[in-house]
Each structure stands twice: as structure tokens, then as C-alpha cells.
Homo-oligomer: A and B are copies of this chain.
Amino acid sequence: MADHDDKAQRAIALLEQAGLRATAQRVLLVSLLYGDGAHRHVTAEQLYEEAVMARGKVSLATVYNTMRALSKAGLLRQVNADAGRIYFDTNTGDHQHIYDESTGTLTDIDAAILKDITLPPLPRGTRLEGVDLIVRVRS
């Protein structure tokens, strides 16, 4: 129980820091996302399944809404590895990904991999939003 409370406390802290109300659904979702320390890559559907397993009372729509809100708040990063499927990454720091197209698994790559590249001039009137590298593999 202490363990659970701990995760819930951290979840609440994260939500408040993001300016979001700490509802039961959000606390559960954020606990699942950040609960065990390791960074995670999940789709809304996957997180929804986990929430249901954990006997959580939450709808898929709320999972989508919450993940969108967390992304906007900067607590999650969206990863476009696969057209037609949004992955959310709890690691919002600078880094890149390996994507296994057979299993749908994402793996982090250290940001240093791009340390030595020189970006080309950007199109006139545009500003840089980010640089995403996806190493696609198959099992």
C-alpha cells in the first residue's frame, strides 16, 4: 500500500505541476506511465488496457484526452514511428528511437548520435521544431 501511495503522490505532483486536476483517472494513468521509474513507450490503447487490468475505472476517450493534455503540458512526447498509430514517450528529453516494425517496440537511442550532424538551411520563413531519427528494424 505504501508503494501505491507513493506512486499516487508522485502522480499528483506531476499533474499539479502540469496544471491539470488530479482526478482518479489521471492519477491512475500517470502512475502507470511514471510509476516504476523507467521510461515508457505506449499507445493510448495499450495504456487503456493496463488501466483496465489494474481495475481502473477509465474510458478510452479519457485516456486519449489525458495523453493529449500531458503532451501539451510537456510531460509526454509523441513519437511518429508508424503512420496511423501514435506512440507516447515518457522520456521528454533529447533522444532518438529504434522502431521494430515487426513488434511495434520502441527503444531509445542516446541523443549523442546526432551530435555531429549539420542541418541543412531550413526553408525560408520556417523555424526548427525538432529533429527525429527513427532506425527501423525487423525481427
Chain A positions within 8 Å of B, measured between CB atoms, are 78, 80-86, 98, 100-102, 105, 107, 109-110, 113-114, 116-120, 122-123, 125-139
Number of copies: 2
Given known A83-B84, A117-B117, contact A137–B126 (CB-CB < 8 A) = yes
- The smallest C-beta distance from A113 to any residue of chain B, in angstroms, reads 6
Given known A78-B83, A81-B80, A85-B83, contact A120–B98 (CB-CB < 8 A) = yes
Interface residue from B114, B127, B136 paired with A129 (Cβ < 8 Å): B136
Given known A83-B86, A98-B120, A109-B120, contact A131–B126 (CB-CB < 8 A) = no
User: Is chain A's interface secondary structure helix, strand, loop, or mixed overall?
Assistant: strand
- The smallest C-beta distance from A88 to any residue of chain B, in angstroms, reads 11
Contact A136 B131 (CB under 8 A): yes
Contact B119 A116 (CB under 8 A): no
Not counting A83-B86, A113-B117, A119-B135, a sample of 4 additional A-B residue pairs whose C-beta atoms are within 8 angstroms of each other reads A80-B81, A100-B123, A110-B120, A132-B134
Most buried by B among A100, A123, A126: A126
Interface residue from B83, B113, B123, B137 paired with A137 (Cβ < 8 Å): B123
